[in-house]
Structure 1
Amino acid sequence: MPESVGLAAQRTATAAVVLAYHPDDAILENLVRIRPQVGRVYVVDNSPGEESARLWSTLGDGVEVLEQCGNVGVAAGFNAGIRAALAAGSDYVVIFDQDSTPTPGMVDRLLSVHAQHGAHAGVIAPALRSAATGVVYRRETGDGVAEVPVLISSGSLLSRDLIERIGLHDQPLFIDYVDHDFCLRARAAGLRNLKVFDALLDHRFGDSDPIRLLGRRVYLANYSTMRLFHQTRNRVIVIRRYGFGAWFWEDAWFTLKAWTKLLLFERNRGAKLGAALRGLRAGLVYPARERHW
């Protein structure tokens, strides 16, 4: 069977899951970019109401909205979409945040890499390009395909075989390090998580507010105290589950830079530091071996 025919069949058997939380009109453009690359799209609405209903009223064929009871979190939201996709017969699922935009051909490239690695494939994801600057992040540059410990959720390709083998996302983690836990679980099962450098995803981290520092433009995440609590708590939980591997040192450098910018330039620094300390305590007492999906 010609490769193009096989790839077309894989594309038809692929669903996209897009997680929405108080989305604005920009999500519609992202859905326009995603829809031609997959067989079907599931929008998981974590903030149902009149405003999001207005957006969904303009959606075309092949896009289904799954309204949740409220903000069930990233893990449970992705799981809801993945369950719907698998139940409808999809063999592959690509998951997206609402503010991530795939470049043309991204999903096909991920599917091609999965076909090359078959049963050994874990999570497969594209390289990240800043939606704010249009520049590929320095740590996201490379050639071909590389095995890595962890990948962010948005843009990740997950196969039915992978999910049946290791399970879904751990729902009580709620947000942040959900992707770390999933990837490290795949790695512990002997699977290879793969970064595909010639597939690109335009992505935003936090609010990405720009400031000037020593003549350079620097972007602040401006995460909420709730987000910082979960970041800190879940980082501790993941360390307790998987130890201090290569993933930790990369994450530690990213965390150091983020907290340096937070403490120097962001508002409500005291409240944010307090939330992180509460998260640290919560992570230390959390029953780390328990998982729920």
Structure 2
Amino acid sequence: MSVGVVVILFNPDVEHVRSLIDAFCAPDWNVILVDNSPSPQQALLTTDVTYLHYPSNIGIAHAQNVGLKVLFNEGSDYAFLLDQDSLFSPDIAVELVRQFQDLEQRSPIAAIGPSIYCQFSECVDQGVLQKGKQVSEKLKTVKQIIASGMLISKRAFERVGEKENELFIDGVDHEWCWRARAKGMVIYQSLSACMPHRQGDDRVKVCGVTFKQGAPIRLYYQFRNVLILARRHYVPLYWKLRHVCAIPLRYLVNRYCFEQGKTRGAFMWAGLKDGLKRKTGPIEHALIPKSSVKKSDT
């Protein structure tokens, strides 16, 4: 049995990535770094890992596909997907692999991920509307999991297919999970393996409601991909209703309550227009406002 680790990078904290590499330096792990940064990370060019650089930024979905295909073609049976800031350890990985192997003997498992300890709320994320169904002391089934910490087998990847390149970034992990479920496969979340995680750059409370705050350009992909995914039959109805109905409120909060409101507004409008046109792929350069920050996290 061989297990690989794919880490997606974009202008990363090199020291943190090095700590991930060091943690998984044993022969049991095969580490692939897929870097979308404009410039190569020279400090990560070591013999310990396979380093693939795409300065044009091919997007997170394509980067994940590249890393997974390299691992599976080289003989790995299983692969983890990690973000560049994931606080992931071999102990978490070993527990997830053990659970995956046990489950695949008796169910059509597509993926498993750890429980998520939100570093903003300082508690384990239970989900807002969908908390999943507990099936044992250590496991529950869910409709989707985030990509960070997701474990996929070669068999599941071949059956479900690749991550959707055209979504580029937001919604990629959830869409793959929903597609897997439409094919009769199951998504699990471990209750015994827990990973600290930060989603977004900050949390801002407006009128008693907490909103995630991220880079302005991400709003383009979030708004566009909500409109794209909401048209698909296999996407859960609760997700469609929650995210489509939230568009006006999210627009007002990002436009008038967050910093860089004008820039955020421009990205949201561009995303809504392209979502209605069903346009996919990376944002066109002409749509990027001149006032936007130069360093985005796409």
Q: Please indicate the TM-score interval, normalised by the length of the shorter structure.
A: 0.7 to 0.9
Q: Which amino acid aligns with 2:143?
A: P
In the TM superposition, residue 221 of structure 1 has moved relative to its aligned partner by: 2.1
Aligned to 1:229: 220
Tell me the distance in 1 between the aligned counterparts of 2:213 and 2:27. Answer: 30
Aligned to 1:91: 77
CA contact (8 A) 1:122 1:186 kept: yes
CA contact (8 A) 1:222 1:266 kept: no
Aligned to 1:139: 127
Q: Which amino acid aligns with 1:281?
A: K
Q: Which amino acid aligns with 2:178?
A: L
TM-score (norm 2): 0.78
Q: Which amino acid aligns with 2:4?
A: A
2:254 to 248, 251, 262: 262
- 1:16 paired to 2:16: no
CA contact (8 A) 1:27 1:98 kept: yes
Tell me the distance in 1 between the aligned counterparts of 2:6 and 2:101. Answer: 21
In the TM superposition, residue 192 of structure 1 has moved relative to its aligned partner by: 0.4
CA offsets 1:212-250 (integer angstroms, 9 cap, x no match) = 889x9x78523222x111111111111111344244456
- What SS does structure 2 have at the residue aligned with 1:101? coil
- 1:65-214 correspondence to structure 2 within 5 Å: 65-118=51-104, 120-131=108-119, 135-139=123-127, 144-208=138-202
Q: Which amino acid aligns with 1:235?
A: V
In the TM superposition, residue 139 of structure 1 has moved relative to its aligned partner by: 3.0
TM-score (norm 1): 0.80
CA offsets 1:123-179 (integer angstroms, 9 cap, x no match) = 211111234565323439875211111111111011111111121111111110011
Aligned to 1:30: 20
Q: Which amino acid aligns with 2:176?
A: F
CA contact (8 A) 1:103 1:200 kept: no
Q: Which amino acid aligns with 2:6?
A: V
1:39 to 26, 29, 42: 29
Q: Which amino acid aligns with 1:286?
A: R
- What SS does structure 2 have at the residue aligned with 1:147? strand
Number of aligned residues:
270
- What SS does structure 1 have at the residue aligned with 2:124? coil
Higher helix proportion: 1
- What SS does structure 2 have at the residue aligned with 1:95? strand
Tell me the distance in 2 between the aligned counterparts of 1:223 and 1:253. Answer: 22
Aligned to 1:273: 265
Aligned to 1:4: none
Tell me the distance in 2 between the aligned counterparts of 1:66 and 1:281. Answer: 34
- % of aligned pairs identical? 27
In the TM superposition, residue 202 of structure 1 has moved relative to its aligned partner by: 2.0
CA contact (8 A) 1:33 1:101 kept: no
CA contact (8 A) 2:223 2:247 kept: no
In the TM superposition, residue 274 of structure 1 has moved relative to its aligned partner by: 3.0
Tell me the distance in 1 between the aligned counterparts of 2:248 and 2:196. Answer: 24
Tell me the distance in 2 between the aligned counterparts of 1:157 and 1:259. Answer: 34
In the TM superposition, residue 198 of structure 1 has moved relative to its aligned partner by: 1.5
Q: 1:159 to 1:262 in 2, by over 3 A?
A: same
154-163 or 131-140, which moves further after superposition?
A: 131-140
What is the alpha-carbon root mean square deviation over aligned residues?
Answer: 3.1
- What SS does structure 2 have at the residue aligned with 1:262? helix
Tell me the distance in 2 between the aligned counterparts of 1:60 and 1:246. Answer: 46
Tell me the distance in 2 between the aligned counterparts of 1:78 and 1:21. Answer: 13
CA contact (8 A) 2:227 2:244 kept: no
